[in-house]
Structure 1
Amino acid sequence: MESQRNLLLIGLLFVSFLIYQQWGKDHSPKPVNTEQTTTQTHSGQSNNLPQAPGDVNATPADDGAHGQLITVQSDVLKLTIDTRGGDIVEADLLKYAKTEKNKNPVQLLNINGAHKYTARSGLIGDNGLAKGQRPVYSVDKKAFKLAAGQKQVTVPLTYTGQNGVVYHKLITLDKGSYDVKVDYKVTNNENKPISVQQFAELKQTTQKAKGGFFGHPNYRGGAYSSDNTRYEKYSFGDIKEKPLNINTKGGWVAMLQHYFAAAWVPPQNQESTLYSRYQDGFAHIGFISAKKEIAPGQTGQLTSSIWIGPELQDKMAAVAPHLDLTVDYGWLWFISQPLFKFLKFLHSIVGNWGVAIILITLIVKGVMYPLTRAQYTSMAKMRILQPKMKELRERYADDRQKQSQAMMELYKKEKVNPLGGCFPIALQMPIFIALYWAFLGSVELRHAPFIFWIHDLSAQDPYYILPVLMGISMFMIQKMSPTAVADPMQQKIMQFMPVAFTVFFLFFPAGLVLYWLVSNCVTLIQQTLIYRELEKKGLHSRDKKEKKK
């Protein structure tokens, strides 16, 4: 049986492998969900998908045809709206700076530059506005702003068709909210019923996102939720190769990137069709609602909303079911979510994310202490049994079955669990991975300062002080841990591990490195206490003598 340190290193390497494996999944095409195979078809081959507007593959910026650009601003959002179609063509997140040095707000949607990204919406159907050319709405002013004391601000867009039908499109921003309401009020002034449907889609160029490196999420692409699928990523490659076509009650469609998301949410109590298409280097993902009949002289209303902003789990969950899953916590999201909620609770008490990370590390290590103690005790007992185990191997060298039986009897007699040293490490692996993704995927840690030189816990340490300290602490743990490894090559590999992991952690976010550093420091303290206890029981003195030799 190898030493505790050797097992721990193997565990860390395995964690690293899983992290790399999960990171790689974000950059590779995802297979088709078996639940979708009966409902997905290629464009032009589906009879279920309602007819899309004639210019669905065109945007105002493509041919220069657009109306007046107006702005609406709340305390957290500033949107630019094109009166042609009433599309949201720019979105500035006023509370989030682009970088630590560049204090200009993050622009999630935009129609300028190489990367174009807009939120389009309108009415289609027998009497929809998107039949032929899109309407140019009228509006009474160019700028709207949430005034002091107001709870919301609304942009009223109006268009009157040739048939006398009046269309009102209302875009409403609430104070402190990233959930934008988009409502239509259609007054039928004809002498016969009319039928309309609403469509809403996100459209952006499919060029690869810049930046990102090992360990940092870099996914940019689509995602959706339906009544059969809680959450599914739908990459640009998926959109291009197998257009989405799903009939569902409720659900949503989104475009994701690290920390931020835009998501159209149809009425959750109504049937909709989720769709996607790819054309001219643009990916589209959206929904089309069921038809709404409006009787003569009546006014019909259609509603939807769009989330434009940071991936704030609690607030997104309140907008639509499973929308909070857009926060990329990997395959251990069910562990990451409660851990982050607890981390957030600690932050509400101490007011510093770095201190909250230290506290959650201390708590996790404290909870795991009984297992750690059992692990060290088991490893110590196994080392003491090495001579007897060697004797049994030699005695039953030609009979594997008798050798195994003798070993089991020895374990039973000495009350030793041969897996006692492995189980605690295996149990901690999911926690390590879950915390890793919680630190990487949570926008709350973006640009969050700690102390002194650490101004952003989501970015790497600019002076590499934390990774170096982490490497030193790892070296000290290795020196304190007794080992039964005799092979010179293995000993050299073991000695090189702290250096390798220091280099490895140079590129990790400072928050994650802080967690590992504090965890190592706690391990050193726990080791000292456990070894003293084992010495009193006579279980550790042998290891010390062997180490001196």
Structure 2
Amino acid sequence: MQNNRNYFIAIALSVLIVLGWQYFIMSPRIEAQRIAEEARLAQEAQTTQVQPNAAAPAAGTVAGNLPGSSAQAAAETNREEAIAKSPRVAIDTPALAGSINLTGARFDDLKLKEYRETVDRTSPIITLFNPADTKDGYFTELGYIAGENAGAVPGPATVWTLVEGDKLTHATPVTLSFTNEAGLTFLRKISVDEHYMFTVEDTIQNAGTANATLAPYGRITRYNKPTTASVYVLHEGFLGVIGSQSGLIEEKYSNIEEEAVANEKATGGWFGITDKYWASALIPQQTLAYESRFSHFTDGQPRFQADYKSDPTTVAAGQSTTLKQLVFAGAKEVPVVDGYALDKSWFGKLFSNLRSSEPAAVQSYEVPRFDLLIDWGWFYFFTKPMFKLMDFFYRQVGNFGIAILLTTIVVKALFFPLASKQYASMANMKRMQPKMEELKAKHGDDKMALQQAMMQLYKDEKINPIAGCWPVLLQIPVFFSLYKVIYVTIEMRHAPFFGWIQDLSAPDPTTFINLFGLLPFEGPTFLHLGVWPIIMGVTMWLQMRMNPTPPDPTQAMLFNWMPLIFTFMLGTFPAGLVIYWAWNNTLSIAQQSVIMKRHGAKIELFDNLKAMFRRKPAKTE
């Protein structure tokens, strides 16, 4: 009795820890981040006066000094006013809307047409870039650092002239021009594809009498970081592949706030800033070596910045040269991002043949390892195939929820041989129950002798005593990969299933606290338990009842409480993941029933259910 009491206490404490983590750690963290961000903005509004055009840092003019290092004032202008006060050229493509600021030729006004803030189709579309003199400033800029005989080169304050085109579309580029006092003319041709990649091609003509030297630079500047709580399976912050042969570099916002990172000098590659679903990235001229860094500035307007400076290039007198840089700004759609990438690894080549659904327009950029812009994680080799399979089914049926169900069937079929062996072992264990009872009667209270006798019986009959755990353990890598896919990929964002599930990437919106929406209030987050988590818990409980009761009291107690623990654990997980788990349990019950019947073992489900509700006889003196 004392041991059983300890088991109950241990299990109860485990459940309380899970619930307490959600209530005391995650929920306050989210609220604290929101309050801190509001307080910071309010304090800046009270203590800092807005200075016209001060929000644009001056480009460095000294060798080694990268752009964006100078102080700037805090920004308060609203978005519409900021856009209206500077000359612009409009952007209008199937995926993007916005404008280019002719002051600095800056990308600072960009919205994503195909994505909205909520599942409501009338909600505003997603805003990615904002002008520098707004509180949510986020923009990209390309320019030059002057060298010998270069004169005043394009920088943040340069006003470009529109000389060709009146609107940037995927079919019509625009050309900007700037001429300085040294006889250098910069013709900047900006084009964009049907998705999110801008091509900036600068032709520099030297009409002067001396050779001119100048160095290209680029920067992505952002004032605010995401206010949502960070999740260990997702990276948000700085990232890049610095050099065409290097691996992925990732730096969290918090790390850069403590110390800037200067990357090694390299040729080729890309880098930028990523959120969960959106990203911006710079792809420098791939033939020029460059230095890059990730920084956080606190002078004036606090801001994060990813920037680079290429090696100087010389334009001979009477000659011209052309430099090409790329800017990615948009949604991290898997087919599009994969299409932009050049992946020479064997794994990348394996998936290159699965890109038939991608538009031809995304096939020609060949940016080294650009597919790593999407956070597939360490188990890239398992997570990405999982998405590819789900995406294939989605293109056939048009519903990601159904695609999850079909993917589960395929995974179950792949694991069928191993699962069959485990279920067969469990069936054999069931047939050994009479012999186990004989051993219990023979050895009585001698637990050591009983344990040794059972181990010998397992060995003689070639039985795995923990076979009942294997079906659950086999789900763990699949579960993690599916969780990663559903949580990270934008294709799952706002993807509906049926009924009340309108977003597979969000938790089930119903909760038993308000009788699943019948009562007009919402319960605390840590008690949030919707319909699908409860369905999952029931199917897991039924699956456990399929197995013989473990002879060890600790194992028996764990099996009894595991469904309840998992039900609360998955209550706040994405609905798509919970639907997968419930469906997988259902398939496992059917699969186990067939295998155990084939081996002549009795299915324990109904007997175990009857035993649970059978009243034990009272002890007599």
Aligned match of 2:247:
230
Give the conservation status (yes or no) of the 8 Å contact 2:496–2:504: yes
Match of 1:502 in 2: 567
Give SS of 1:277's match.
strand
Structure 1 counterpart of 2:178, one-letter code: Y
Letter in 1 for 2:253: F
1:519 maps to which residue?
584
* CA positional deviation for 1:531: 3.0
Three-state SS of the structure 2 residue aligned to 1:511 is: helix
- CA offsets per residue over residues 186-241 of structure 1, 9 Å max, x none? 1001111112221111111244x233587885x53111112364212112233231
Question: Where do 5+ consecutive residues of structure 1 fail to align?
Answer: 1-8, 28-48
Q: Does 1:104 align with 2:124?
A: yes
Q: Is the Cα contact below 8 Å between 1:247 and 1:274 reproduced in 2?
A: yes
Distance 1:442 1:388 in 2: 55
The equivalent residue for 1:458 is 505
Structure-2 separation of matches of 1:131 and 1:306: 17
DSSP 3-state at the match of 1:163: coil
CA distance in 1: counterparts of 2:143 and 2:296, whole angstroms? 19
Separation in 1, partners of 2:605, 2:125: 62
Counterpart-to-counterpart distance in 1, 2:500 and 2:339: 37
1:122 deviation in Å? 0.7
Q: Shift of the alpha carbon at 1:113?
A: 4.6
User: Deviation string for 1:398-449 (max 9, x for gaps)?
Assistant: 9x9xx6xx88765553233456555554443212111110111111111112
The one of 137, 143, 158 equivalent to 2:160 is 137
Cα distance in 1 between the residues matched to 2:218 and 2:576: 38
TM-superposed deviation, 1:495: 4.2
Q: In the alignment, does 2:534 pair up with 1:468?
A: yes
- The amino acid that maps onto 1:162 is E
Please tell me whether residue 413 in structure 1 is matched to residue 478 in structure 2. no
User: What displacement does 1:52 show?
Assistant: 3.5
Contact 2:111 2:129 in 1 (8 A): yes
Task: Name the amino acid aligned to 1:169.
Answer: R
**d(CA) in 1 for partners of 2:107 and 2:155?**
20
Matched residue, 1:167: 186
**1:217-276 Cα deviation digits (max 9, x unpaired):** 5x5311111236421211223323132232112111111111111111123344222212
| Deviation, structure 1 residue 374 | 1.8
- Is 1:122 matched up with 2:143? yes
Deviations 1:489-544 (A, max 9, x none): 8766654443443333332222112111211111221232233224x2x5768995
Identity of aligned residues (%): 27
Using the TM superposition, name which of 133-142 and 351-360 deviates more: 133-142
Q: Which residue matches 1:445?
A: 492
Deviation of 1:395 (Å):
9.0
- Cα 1:183–1:541 shift into 2, 3 Å: closer
1:119–1:201: 8 Å Cα contact kept in structure 2? yes
Flag the structure with more relative contact order, 1 or 2, with Cα contacts below 8 A and sequence separation at least 6: 1
Q: Distance in 1 between matches of 2:187 and 2:303?
A: 29
Q: Which amino acid aligns with 1:265?
A: I
AA at the equivalent of 2:399 = N
Please say which of residues 79-88 and 130-139 is displaced more in the overlay.
130-139
Match of 2:424 in 1: 377
Give the Cα–Cα distance (whole angstroms) in 2 for the partners of residues 504 and 389 of structure 1.
Answer: 39
What code does the residue aligned with 2:415 have?
A: M
Name 2:351's counterpart in structure 1: none
Alignment counterpart, residue 219 of structure 2, candidates 197, 201, 220: 201
Tell me the equivalent position of 2:305.
284
Q: Report deviation, 1:282.
A: 0.7
| Distance change in 2, residues 1:474/1:397 (3 Å) | closer
Change (3 A) 1:517 1:202: same
CA–CA distance in structure 2, aligned partners of residues 439 and 155 of structure 1: 38
Amino acid at match of 1:255: I
Aligned partners of 1:128 and 1:197 also within 8 Å: no
**Partner SS for 2:264:** strand
CA contact (8 A) 1:138 1:157 kept: yes
Change (3 A) 1:96 1:505: same
Distance of 1:541 and 1:318 partners within structure 2: 52
Aligned equivalent of 1:532: 597
- Which of 58, 71, 80 aligns to 2:99? It is 80
334-343 or 280-289: which moved more? 280-289
Mapped pair 1:340 → 2:387: yes
Instruction: Tell me the distance in 1 between the aligned counterparts of 2:444 and 2:134.
Output: 72
1:3 maps to none
Residue 332 of structure 1: how far off its partner (Å): 1.9
In structure 2, the residue matched to 1:32 is: none
Q: Is the 8 A contact 1:471 1:502 kept in 2?
A: yes
Q: Does 1:52 align with 2:52?
A: no
2:75 touches 2:134 (CA, 8 Å); kept in 1?
A: no
Partners of 2:608 and 2:560 in 1: CA distance: 20
Query: For 1:459 and 1:440, how far apart are their aligned partners in 2?
Result: 8
Please give the alpha-carbon distance, in whole angstroms, between the structure 2 residues aligned to 1:203 and 1:495. 53
Following TM superposition, by how much is the alpha carbon of 1:479 offset from its aligned partner in structure 2, in angstroms? 3.1
In the alignment, does 2:354 pair up with 1:307?
no
SS in 2 for 1:156: strand
Q: Which moved more, 1:185-194 or 1:232-241?
A: 232-241
C-alpha distance in 2 between matches for 1:431 and 1:505:
15
How many residue pairs end up in the alignment? 497
Structure 1 residues 519, 483: closer, same or farther in 2, change over 3 A?
Answer: same
1:131–1:308 distance in 2 versus 1, CA, 3 Å: closer
The residue identity in structure 1 corresponding to 2:136 is H
SS of residue in 2 equivalent to 1:139: strand
User: Residue 6 of structure 1 corresponds to which residue in structure 2?
Assistant: none
1:213 to 1:389, Cα distance in 2 relative to 1, 3 A: farther
Is structure 2 residue 301 aligned with structure 1 residue 254?
no
Tell me the SS of whatever aligns to 2:265.
strand
How far 1:131 sits from its partner (Å)?
7.8
Letter in 1 for 2:502: H
1:221 to 215, 237, 241: 237
- The Cα of 1:330 is off from its aligned counterpart by 2.9
Which residue pairs with 1:329 in the alignment?
A: 376
Query: Normalising by structure 2, what TM-score?
Result: 0.70
After superposition, give the CA deviation of every residue in 1:44-75 in whole Å (9 maximum; x if it has no partner): xxxxx953356554679859998423322111
Post-superposition CA distance 1:358-405 (Å, at most 9, x none): 10011112222222222222234346274688779999959x9xx6xx
* C-alpha deviation, 1:140, in angstroms: 4.8
Q: CA RMSD in A?
A: 3.9
Matches within 5 A, 1:19-38: none
Q: Specify whether residues 168 and 52 from structure 1 end up closer, same or farther in structure 2 by C-alpha distance, changes over 3 A only.
A: farther
SS across alignment from 2:382: helix
Does 433-442 or 260-269 show the bigger shift?
260-269
Q: Secondary structure at the match of 1:91?
A: strand
State how far apart, in whole Å, the 1-side matches of 2:608 and 2:76 are. Answer: 81
Residues 51/380 of structure 1: CA separation in 2 closer, same or farther (3 Å cut): same
CA distance in 2, matches of 1:298, 1:335: 52
Write the distance in 2 (CA, Å) between the matches of 1:168 and 1:153: 16
C-alpha distance in 2 between matches for 1:453 and 1:154: 44
Find the residue that maps to 1:152 and give its secondary structure.
coil
Structure 2 residue aligned with 1:479: 545
Equivalence for 2:515: none
